[in-house]
Amino acid sequence: MNRLLAISLSIFLSHIFIIAADVASPSDRVRLSVGLDKEGAPVYSVTFDGKTVVNDSHMGFELLDSPSLKSDFEITGQRHDSCDETWRPVWGEESVIRSNYNELLLNLRQRSTGRLVDLRFRVFDDGVGFRYEFPCPQPQLQSFVITDELTEFAIPCDAVAYWIPGDYDSQEFNYTRCRLSEISSKMDEAHVGGPVYPSPFSDTGVQTALMMKYDSGLYVNIHEAALYDYPAMCLDLDDSTMTFRSTLTPYANGDKAVMQTGRSTPWRTIIVSDDAREILASRITLNLNEPCRIEDTSWIRPVKYIGVWWEMITGKSTWHYTDDVTSVAIDQTDYSALKSNGRHGAETSNVMRYIDFAALHGFDAVLVEGWNEGWEDQATSRKYKIFSFTRPYPDFDVKKIRDYAASKGVRIMMHHETGSAVADYERVLDEAFRFMADNSYNSVKGGYIGELLPRGEHHYSQAMVNHYQYVLEKAADYHIMYNAHEAVRPTGVSRTWPNLIGNESARGSEYHAFSGIKPGHTAILPFTRLVGGPMDYTPGLFENNISRYNPYSSAWVNTTLASQLSLYVTMASPLQMAADLPETYERFMDAFQFIKDVALDWDRSVYLEAEPMEYVTVARKAKNSDNWFVGSTGGAEARKSRLDFSFLPQGRKYRATIYRDGKNAHYRTAPQDYIIETRTVDSRTRLTLPVAAGGGYAISLTPVK
Ligand code: NOJ
Ligand code: CA
């Protein structure tokens, strides 16, 4: 477009916005405009195929004891660049990933203060990423404290949003689907059954990754990439203008980020397409992270595991060893003098039973929680908890279990529940990892339940983001694969640190045994939580009626058994658990076969059907194998999935084993009604498969010789 026309048009549209630069994506579908308004404030906007994705939106910061960095800027330079490269992740949904974008670096100088800020934009065919950079050296700015980031995302319509409440400590909520204008009226309901932390938040605050659908047909996702040394971002909506503004997780004193020139913020990402499948196929988040920093990655391998876990979650057994004491102090208590409560899960012979089951069915590892001293703090709901990471309970024989597991070719997965006693954990971290190395543990599940010490600090603050990163890098030093629960949600960091093989950071399967998970949950997570990286969702629940494990429980697993199988494919992760009890799997060995067979690492992924909260169907080719797997996860309503096998190579026949919902299947009334059938298929095959309410299907495909 003629520059003059562009300028006058944009002035006409916004009255204020003078475009300094336009950047188009390689195919020209996505366009970004950036400039300054009449106050000298940076403004950007984004379109997709000419449709507005984000209207004119401001950028900037408020600083502590210093003039704000939000206006009075002049543009002192701009540099355009482009990139088209491919790279190979250590694990993931594809073995080769392409990164293709056009870049703009805009240099800004604040007239009154002389301070410098650079804005870097990368425009891909499926969205944009941008970040703030603070050039170094600059005499007017060295160290500074951000009290507010003012990045806006002006949504052009009253979009449908799929969201969880803004919170600085937890993401473990059910999702709500409603118009932006309805968020405030739905906020109370959105908290029901969720975790309760004293996180002050407005009634229009939501978390990222935020998924939206516009009336124009666009699917839009807002998140962040490469979150390092900076607080996690929530979004607060001004629902009179439909404009979101970034809201950073504060320190207890209200400061947001302690910064220095030479650093930059994480990338703010906007993924967009008119096809929901493209949101799932987008690799923007990974592409905005740095290449792998671990030289030898041979020790990082996908892990399929079972665990002494669901029996505690359901209340069948306990994490803690003894009921005898109400006040144990872990450094002072002689546990061997205490009596077991008889229901302790991590008891040696019980663990050996799990090892046998894992070995028999080809699992890599057995997670054992409640093996270590300190769980009495948790059992008695003490606010401040201290766990030992080296001292087992008297009935957990570390050496016997280690040697038994080794003899069967199985690893034990370590568990480090910190109880959010972060300073204590950092103090003993080396010791804890050395204990692991000495006893053949190569992976750890971490945890951050409860409020943080010292008082008023939040799970997603800059300090905590740094803590998780510290643990992750320290784990890499010890060749330990890491999976943290209750930590900050991922932002593609696993590209750089692929020993981060999982995270929870969302409402995981465990809530089926607590306050419940709504049908449709696993059809929205791929659009939200998984945008940043894999989730340790812990699927594989075959028994819906939790009172079978614990007569005091009335909990119910709100999915069909076939749907549980689908999750191994739709929720891609190099870390996958079969979460239910061995004795339950023994009742359903034919269906369990799928969990045994399914791959964890992929050459290719083809998204076949997708609609947020309704359904996700994906076919994936196992890495270094000719086998394919298909998963289809549904929502609350029954549907028919039309499956087109054209993803298969032409002219080749495959034996398909289909695990699907039976005629009467329904998550509430007949969740265990499933059918397993086999047939021969090729790239021309088309099938219509039923998906029950709360249902799904899974297919394994092996070439016919
Ligand atoms: C919450 C985690 O999500 C769960 O998996 C774990 O068992 C408990 N915390 C105890 O650490
Ligand atoms: Ca959790």
CA of 429 to the centre of ligand 1 (A): 19
**Comparing 6 with 62, which gets the higher pLDDT?**
62
Q: What distance in Å separates the CA atoms of residue 155 and residue 189, rounded to the nearest whole number?
A: 24
Give the closest residue (by CA) to ligand 1 atom 2.
485
Pocket lining: 172 vs ligand 1, CB cutoff 6 Å: no
pLDDT beyond 80 at 331? no
CA of 447 to the centre of ligand 1 (A): 6
Lowest model confidence (mean pLDDT) among 26-35, 380-389, 518-527, 623-632: 380-389
> What are the structure tokens assigned to 566, written together?
């689908």
CA of 171 to the centre of ligand 1 (A): 14
CB atoms within 10 A of CB 198: 10
Atom of ligand 1 nearest to the CA of 538: 5
Active-site entry in 510, 543, 583, 677: 510
- At which residue do the structure tokens 């080719």 appear? 621
Q: For position 355, what pLDDT does the model report? A: 99
Pocket lining: 510 vs ligand 1, CB cutoff 6 Å: yes
Q: For position 2, what pLDDT does the model report? A: 52
Percent of the chain predicted with pLDDT > 90: 91
Q: Name the DSSP letter for residue 93.
A: S
Q: What is the DSSP string of 509-558?
A: GGGGTTT---TTHHHHGGGTGGGSS-----------BGGGT-TT---B--
Pocket lining: 504 vs ligand 1, CB cutoff 6 Å: yes
Q: For position 11, what pLDDT does the model report? A: 46
Percent of the chain predicted with pLDDT > 70: 97
pLDDT beyond 90 at 18? no
Q: Which residues surround ligand 2, an ion (CB under 5 A)?
A: 485
Mutate to test the pocket of ligand 1, among 305, 369, 372 (most ligand atoms within 8 A of CB): 369
3-state helix, strand, coil in the chain (%, to 5): 20, 35, 45
Q: For position 7, what pLDDT does the model report? A: 44
Please report which confidence band the pLDDT of residue 5 belongs to, taking 50, 70 and 90 as the band edges.
low
Q: Is 223 left (phi over 0), alpha (psi -120 to 50) or beta?
A: beta
Atom of ligand 1 nearest to the CA of 312: 7
Q: For position 324, what pLDDT does the model report? A: 81
Q: For position 201, what pLDDT does the model report? A: 84
Atom of ligand 1 nearest to the CA of 309: 7
CA of 508 to the centre of ligand 2 (A): 7
Mean pLDDT computed over 166-178: 97
**Angle at alpha carbon of residue 162, lines to 159 and 164, rounded to 5°:** 130
Residues 6+ apart with CB under 8 A from 356: 408
Buried b (16+ CB within 10 A) or exposed e, 296-328: eeeebbbbbbbbbbbbbbbbbbbbbbbbeeeeb
Q: What distance in Å separates the CA atoms of residue 544 and residue 516, rounded to the nearest whole number?
A: 12
Pocket lining: 447 vs ligand 1, CB cutoff 6 Å: yes
Lowest model confidence (mean pLDDT) among 116-120, 335-339, 696-700: 335-339
Mutate to test the pocket of ligand 1, among 169, 489, 510 (most ligand atoms within 8 A of CB): 510
pLDDT tens for each residue of 539-571: 999 999 999 999 999 999 999 999 999 999 999
Pocket lining: 417 vs ligand 1, CB cutoff 6 Å: yes
CB 403 within 8 A of CB 440: no
Global pTM? Answer: 0.96
CA of 448 to the centre of ligand 2 (A): 8
CB atoms within 10 A of CB 254: 10
CA of 693 to the centre of ligand 2 (A): 26
Closest alpha carbon to 546 in 554, 537, 534, 538 = 554
Q: What distance in Å separates the CA atoms of residue 117 and residue 654, rounded to the nearest whole number?
A: 57
Q: For position 10, what pLDDT does the model report? A: 47
> What are the structure tokens assigned to 140, written together?
């007017």
Q: For position 328, what pLDDT does the model report? A: 67
pLDDT beyond 90 at 453? no
CB 594 within 8 A of CB 659: yes
Q: For position 8, what pLDDT does the model report? A: 46
Please report which confidence band the pLDDT of residue 470 belongs to, taking 50, 70 and 90 as the band edges.
very high
CB atoms within 10 A of CB 132: 24
Residue 82 has phi, psi (to 5 degrees) of -150, 165
Pocket lining: 514 vs ligand 1, CB cutoff 6 Å: no
Distance separating the N- and C-terminal Cα atoms of the chain:
57
Mutate to test the pocket of ligand 1, among 449, 486, 577 (most ligand atoms within 8 A of CB): 449
Q: What distance in Å separates the CA atoms of residue 581 and residue 60, rounded to the nearest whole number?
A: 52
> Nearest bound ligand to CA 372?
1
Residues 6+ apart with CB under 8 A from 432: 389, 390, 416, 425
pLDDT beyond 70 at 61? yes
510 is catalytic: yes
CA of 315 to the centre of ligand 1 (A): 13
Residues linked to residue 606 through DSSP beta bridges, in sequence order: 619
Please report which confidence band the pLDDT of residue 1 belongs to, taking 50, 70 and 90 as the band edges.
very low
Buried b (16+ CB within 10 A) or exposed e, 505-538: bbbbbbbbbbebbbbbbbbbbbbbbbbbbbbbbb
Atom of ligand 1 nearest to the CA of 447: 11
Q: For position 19, what pLDDT does the model report? A: 82
pLDDT tens for each residue of 377-421: 888 887 778 899 999 999 999 999 999 999 999 999 999 999 999
pLDDT beyond 80 at 341? yes
Q: For position 327, what pLDDT does the model report? A: 63
Q: For position 698, what pLDDT does the model report? A: 99
Q: Name the DSSP letter for residue 399.
A: H
